[in-house]
Amino acid sequence: MKRAAAWAILLLGMAYFILPLLGMVEFSLSMKRGIYSLEAYRVVLADPRFRETFSFSVGMALLTIAVGMAIVVPTAFWVRLKMPGLRPYVEFVTLLPLVIPAIVIVFGYIRLYNTSSVLPLTGTIFGTNLLLVFGYVTLSLPYMYRAVDTGLRTIDVATLTEAAQSLGAGWGTILARVILPNVLVSVLSGAFVTFAIVMGEFTMAALLNRPAFGPYLQLMGANRAYEPFALATIAFVITWACMGLIQLVTRFSKHDKAAR
């Protein structure tokens, strides 16, 4: 009885999640009347705007991961090693982007870094791209910091650092060759979440007027019948792949530890 009720609740719940995905895939396949075909995907993949925006967003995502990790890994390491008392405060700051909506942050960027300001980042395309990367880093800060910090918790930072120092390593060597390999799994999980977030992001890119995948999706949705659903399916597969990769690296590392 209890088990039947539990199954019923779960199946009903799953139906709610599966139906929209089915609807989306079904629509994306029905561009040709009467039969299922991959026509919508063909049209989308042949669209030069798709290639441009998609590769733009991939580039932005990779830059965001690089810049974000360059900021987060040394900071989390330093806080754990030298200033453990500050950890709650730093963590609080990294969680702020969950509190302040992205639209408000980018509104601030537009007003703060416009052409008449001290730092006119929005004046040039390069500057605007840079601002967008910084915005994405800010958005992914909560996920990256938490991932890296959790990774650092599982290793003995102080001992590793002292061992490396007594062998003559400088801070750069310690970070790159001792700490980073040890928290690589956490860094990768943070990177995959960041990748998924950046690929689907709409608000910042739209308001900064950059040709990213999110605004392109929205534009297609307003103008085309079947292509948006093919694009949405692609976006879902990307999200799914990122989450799957996180599971994979986590599981891989567990095997790694069990073997020793």
Partner 1 sequence: MSDTPPPARRRLPLTWLGLAPFALFVALFLIAPTMKIVLGAFQRADGSFTFENIAGLFTDSILSSYWISIKISVASAALGCLVGFLMAAAMVLGGLPRSIRSPLLTFSGVASNFAGVPLAFAFLATLGPLGLVTVALKTHLGINLRVYGFNILSFWGLTITYLFFQIPLMILIITPALDGLKREWREAASCLGASGAQYWRMVALPILFPSILGTFALLFANAFGAVATAIALTGSSLNIVPIMLFAQIRGDVLGNPHLGYAMAFGMILITGVANVLYIVLRMRSERWLK
| Contact set for partner 1, span 59-78 (CB under 8 A) | 71-72, 74-75, 78
Closer CB to partner 1, residue 118 or residue 260? 118
Based on the shown chain and the rule CB under 8 A, indicate whether residue 232 belongs to the binding site for partner 1: yes
Instruction: Determine what percent of the chain falls in helix, strand and coil, rounding each to the nearest 5.
Output: 85, 0, 15
As a whole number of angstroms, the distance between CA 171 and CA 77 comes to: 11
Based on the shown chain and the rule CB under 8 A, indicate whether residue 128 belongs to the binding site for partner 1: no
Contact pattern for partner 1 over residues 179 through 198, marking x by CB under 8 A: --------------x--xx-
Report the nearest approach of partner 1 to the CB of residue 50 (Å): 14
Closer CB to partner 1, residue 110 or residue 155? 110
Based on the shown chain and the rule CB under 8 A, indicate whether residue 104 belongs to the binding site for partner 1: yes
Tell me which stretch binds partner 1 (CB under 8 A): 58-66, 161-169, 177-185, 217-225.
Answer: 217-225
| Contact set for partner 1, span 143-162 (CB under 8 A) | none
Closer CB to partner 1, residue 140 or residue 151? 140
Based on the shown chain and the rule CB under 8 A, indicate whether residue 45 belongs to the binding site for partner 1: no
Closer CB to partner 1, residue 38 or residue 235? 235
Residue 197: closest CA among 149, 244, 235, 229: 235
DSSP designation for 113? S
As a whole number of angstroms, the distance between CA 216 and CA 52 comes to: 10
- For the chain, how far is it from start to end, CA to CA, in angstroms? 45
149, 156, 165, 177 alpha-carbon torsion, rounded to 10°: -60
Block residue for tokens 């702020």: 96
